[in-house]
Structure 1
């Protein structure tokens, strides 16, 4: 086990003034969290990592937590793999990473596992520490959806424990918060509970029921709005204060919500009962992660408000304590506790900040937006973790708020320390400890995979990382169970008749491809066996890659037991079925229908399943093309690697030819110029050679004449003879110079020729190298380019052979 204090939270190591770790651990007292905690920092500061580290310490100390996860980051709390095997990490690796990094998925998984092993070892952790996290029971809930574990939020209109005499003020606060949240959900936002007729009426209706210890459902509220169970509101008759015509609008708003198909999902799953969700029967703490990424803003506000209200209601039934009893973590508080405005959530969060410490309930509030904090409310927070902030405005607003709420804060020091923070470094302020500190967070025990998307949530249950909701919470009352048995009621009887199928469910018949005789059957009766069939056309158009692809994906599911709306479609992929093989009617009247699994008849889930099918094509409908960015050559998906290389070579030939032609043209111009000069120089040399020969003859003649004159005794001009000697020497010098010029020009031509050959060779080498610099690019279709052609029940035809066995009457290959 890690060498830390077993009674404290190990969050990281302190950082000194020089920006380096001091080696001193930051050990945090759990009970200090009773005065609540705020974590803030810009995106990328390590804020989520710190939150997970903090919650890991809850798990290691067996302290339960209620966690609100708007983005999917905190689902990472389920991803702890004590054996640190690559295969455990593999399902959670970013599916785009292999194409982006040009590595295989298994290779990336092994590298990630090794990275985590090394990180844990640097911080003194090992497998047993990760295994200790398994002492906690993890459940991921998806309010308003069956994508993971639904939660019955509407059962919260049951009357609370206690009676009016003991806690009427607290119960009325619970009613007020619940009504504000419900009205916000149906479109009445930012209302004043004192002035709003809608709020006053609904609050009085709920109080009327609860006073009689009766539960109230949405249907009861609608009827009570139309015919109130009391005659007056305050001193005025109900019809005068809130006329029936106006009340009808409110009733219609609630009825529209009740009639919405999505409403049914809010009633599914275990009841939101905080007391039953904190510990298992054998005493292990529970982590309840409420994933709300899929909800609209109004739905999020409704759920968050109701969840905090239930925490408050449970809390008031508990005795006071100085120990940390429960952590309530909200990953993004922005908009729920703003500086201005009073959303439905504001009141209950403020009350908990003021009162929950006495009950050992800690609120941990995280945000990347310190501008939108209600610092007056957050003055109740005793611990602050501040990471790197994006702007000076963010930093100044935070320091202003802290200076106001915590008089002992040194503004100059806080400013300097916040400005110096690096990634995963936080300024630490605790009212229970003096001064400001900077620390770096420890390595997370859980794998930080980034936001977990909704389509991956069912994998948590599949891999045993999250409990199924049916095992969590207290049983609901009998009148809340009708939705739970819907699919069981949908199961058809084995009497050969066709079940009633909702109009929203597609229905298709696969044509027979074999005759009864071929199958040793009398063909008297076709038996239709149901399967779920999904087929879609998708297009990927990328001009850059010369890609205009149209393809199809199809899936056929014959499993009888499918849970939820998320299906691992890749397990059921088949070849597409041509349109002419499908019909909207059976081939004869003499048919027998096999029973249909209940999940296929559940019309309420049809839209979610179809959306999930589209998501699967978006993820898996990739096509790989070859790309050579250097050459600007892109091959469509039909090109083989060999064909693409030939395409690159053709581009190389074309591009290199253009460059070589340019070099050749320049070389030819230089050659022409040099050859002209060489010809002139050669002519000059030839001319000077002739002159030299002529002058040599004159020189010889002059010598002869001079010698003869001496022999004959005649006087001859010495200067004339000397002049002829000089002319001969000058001609020789001129010839030598002309010859040197010719030789230099000839050498220049040779150098230009060698330079040209080298340049041509360099061009060929450069382009040949570029031809080999190609890679693969993975392209996915856009969701708007995915078109579902078939989605529904496909009736597969069978004949009964002479042995009484069902045999396929359709061509098996292709589906």
Structure 2
């Protein structure tokens, strides 16, 4: 038996699947693609998460595109976090040429260009379905982790949420949250101390600064109504899974907002989806491009939360896939949970790079056909080392793979094409509407106005006779009271008008 035949048999023995699978490419031996050595991944283990890694320009994004395409064709929906803006092409068919047709023939698959059902989404100013969530839905624990608060400050946040629950004050957006914090140390200080004890002004001020920092990254647009229902991610159209592309190109320099959104999404999916058990295919796959932004800027508590969800969410039939430059961008506790590993080429320009490559090679199964560390630096664009889990949870043989070409467009959509996709959306009318209902901000404002009017009646029971004259002290009190009331009302009106005009509506649904 020749070495090539041994190679084909080696891959075939490790990829005996009873259930359905997707084909990612064909194996490469001695630098040449081998027909008949297809590299397959079973659908049954795609909820075991995965990693797509490699240096810039080696084809990571196209591999992500291929996997999302093949999932869609199998009726499996996916969510793609698109930070570079180059995944929208999934909505349009690709273009066949001699190179692609020959590549497909070598791999042993047909090449049929087609567009897939795509839903464009956004948490910022990008066009598409607006994804939002309310502060109440996050809860005190998650909000505290996002704001990186200490134990004392977390206690204050828990107090705020408890007070709002008891007094039916909906916390929908960050303005509601800030207004209640102001109330705790100002107008409502006496009431709060009677009910909960003394609250430190220093803690309140720190929390306020943290919220403002989050606002500066654009979180004020994310918190509000109408809250997105994660079940809308799990849709099919004409038998194909809908690909939901969350366009994040304008928040690349806002890692706090990105990690906040990602964690809220994972938490909501985990809490909402029912247990799926040992199913033949995943319910949903989530792809996180530029995943280093999640981990490099997250606090210890936030990392622990992410790691816990990653470990548990697969039982809900959800697979999470991280796309980044090196496996070391992902914490080891998360890396150990990843079943599918797609490693594109790495570049060794420095001694540090070479050490990283050696460490990366140790993350993959040994192969009788490759020196993994050597292959990592010699692969071309569109090639990758791939290993997955078979249906018994055992890693499949490591294969240097010629990855198949995407059947959708390998380029971005034009503005007019994006507009067409957005117009065709059934979710835009549902979520892209301005809702401004009463919440904690408005309720506390009315409460304070009522208190002020009652104080006026107590202090000034009736009009004084024309002949009487007020003392200088009384004149000063009335003038100050009138001035404070007018300034507060003018300030509130001006603030809300500016907020609506510049940042959009601040409102939200509380579940």
Q: How many residues align?
A: 412
- Rounded to whole Å, the distance in 2 between the matches of 1:261 and 1:45 is 31
- Rounded to whole Å, the distance in 2 between the matches of 1:401 and 1:61 is 32
Question: What is aligned with 2:144?
Answer: 179
Match runs of 1:643-662 below 5 Å = none
Question: What is aligned with 2:235?
Answer: 279
Q: Which of these residues, 309, 318, 341, is aligned with residue 361 of structure 1? A: 318
Q: Which of these residues, 179, 191, 201, is aligned with residue 156 of structure 2? A: 201
Question: What is aligned with 2:385?
Answer: 427
Question: Are 2:22 and 2:70, in contact at CA under 8 Å, matched by a contact in 1?
Answer: yes
* 1:335 and 2:293 correspond: yes
Question: What is aligned with 2:267?
Answer: 309
Q: CA deviation at 1:237?
A: 6.5
Q: CA deviation at 1:384?
A: 1.1
Question: What is aligned with 2:359?
Answer: 400
Report the CA distance shift for 1:115/1:10 in structure 2 as closer, same or farther (over 3 A): same
Q: CA deviation at 1:304?
A: 2.4
Report the CA distance shift for 1:267/1:351 in structure 2 as closer, same or farther (over 3 A): closer
SS in 2 for 1:153: coil
- Rounded to whole Å, the distance in 2 between the matches of 1:211 and 1:474 is 31
Report the CA distance shift for 1:466/1:348 in structure 2 as closer, same or farther (over 3 A): farther
Q: Which of these residues, 345, 366, 382, is aligned with residue 388 of structure 1? A: 345
Q: CA deviation at 1:21?
A: 2.7
Report the CA distance shift for 1:428/1:249 in structure 2 as closer, same or farther (over 3 A): closer
Question: Are 2:343 and 2:386, in contact at CA under 8 Å, matched by a contact in 1?
Answer: yes
SS in 2 for 1:62: coil
Q: Which of these residues, 376, 381, 399, is aligned with residue 437 of structure 1? A: 399
Match runs of 1:96-135 below 5 Å = 114=97, 118=101, 122=105, 129-131=112-114, 134=116
Q: CA deviation at 1:126?
A: 6.3
Report the CA distance shift for 1:429/1:382 in structure 2 as closer, same or farther (over 3 A): same
* 1:47 and 2:6 correspond: no
Q: CA deviation at 1:46?
A: 1.1
Report the CA distance shift for 1:45/1:232 in structure 2 as closer, same or farther (over 3 A): farther
Higher normalized contact order (CA 8 Å, seq sep 6+, divided by chain length): 2
Uncovered stretches (5+) of structure 2, i.e. residues with no partner: 1-16, 440-499, 505-511
Report the CA distance shift for 1:119/1:411 in structure 2 as closer, same or farther (over 3 A): closer
* 1:377 and 2:334 correspond: yes
Uncovered stretches (5+) of structure 1, i.e. residues with no partner: 85-112, 160-173, 184-190, 482-601, 607-815
Match runs of 1:656-735 below 5 Å = none
- Rounded to whole Å, the distance in 2 between the matches of 1:148 and 1:605 is 15
Write the deviation string for residues 27-80 of structure 1: whole angstroms up to 9, x where unpaired: 210122221111111112111111110111111011111211111122222232
- Rounded to whole Å, the distance in 1 between the matches of 2:237 and 2:404 is 32
SS in 2 for 1:73: coil
Q: Which of these residues, 239, 242, 245, is aligned with residue 289 of structure 1? A: 245
- Rounded to whole Å, the distance in 2 between the matches of 1:8 and 1:284 is 15
Question: Are 2:365 and 2:397, in contact at CA under 8 Å, matched by a contact in 1?
Answer: no
SS in 1 for 2:304: helix
SS in 1 for 2:263: helix
Report the CA distance shift for 1:248/1:419 in structure 2 as closer, same or farther (over 3 A): closer
Write the deviation string for residues 635-657 of structure 1: whole angstroms up to 9, x where unpaired: xxxxxxxxxxxxxxxxxxxxxxx
Give the structure-1-normalised TM-score. Answer: 0.44
Report the CA distance shift for 1:331/1:252 in structure 2 as closer, same or farther (over 3 A): closer
Question: Are 1:139 and 1:466, in contact at CA under 8 Å, matched by a contact in 2?
Answer: no
Give the structure-2-normalised TM-score. Answer: 0.67
Question: What is aligned with 1:66?
Answer: 79
Question: Are 1:35 and 1:382, in contact at CA under 8 Å, matched by a contact in 2?
Answer: yes
**Which has the greater radius of gyration?**
1
Question: Are 1:178 and 1:309, in contact at CA under 8 Å, matched by a contact in 2?
Answer: no
Question: What is aligned with 1:604?
Answer: 502
* 1:148 and 2:127 correspond: yes
- Rounded to whole Å, the distance in 1 between the matches of 2:282 and 2:217 is 41
- Rounded to whole Å, the distance in 1 between the matches of 2:162 and 2:275 is 23
Question: Are 1:353 and 1:381, in contact at CA under 8 Å, matched by a contact in 2?
Answer: no
CA RMSD of aligned residues (A): 4.3
* 1:446 and 2:408 correspond: yes
Question: What is aligned with 1:526?
Answer: none
- Rounded to whole Å, the distance in 2 between the matches of 1:261 and 1:337 is 17
Q: CA deviation at 1:314?
A: 2.2
* 1:158 and 2:137 correspond: yes
Report the CA distance shift for 1:153/1:117 in structure 2 as closer, same or farther (over 3 A): same
* 1:11 and 2:24 correspond: yes
SS in 2 for 1:20: strand
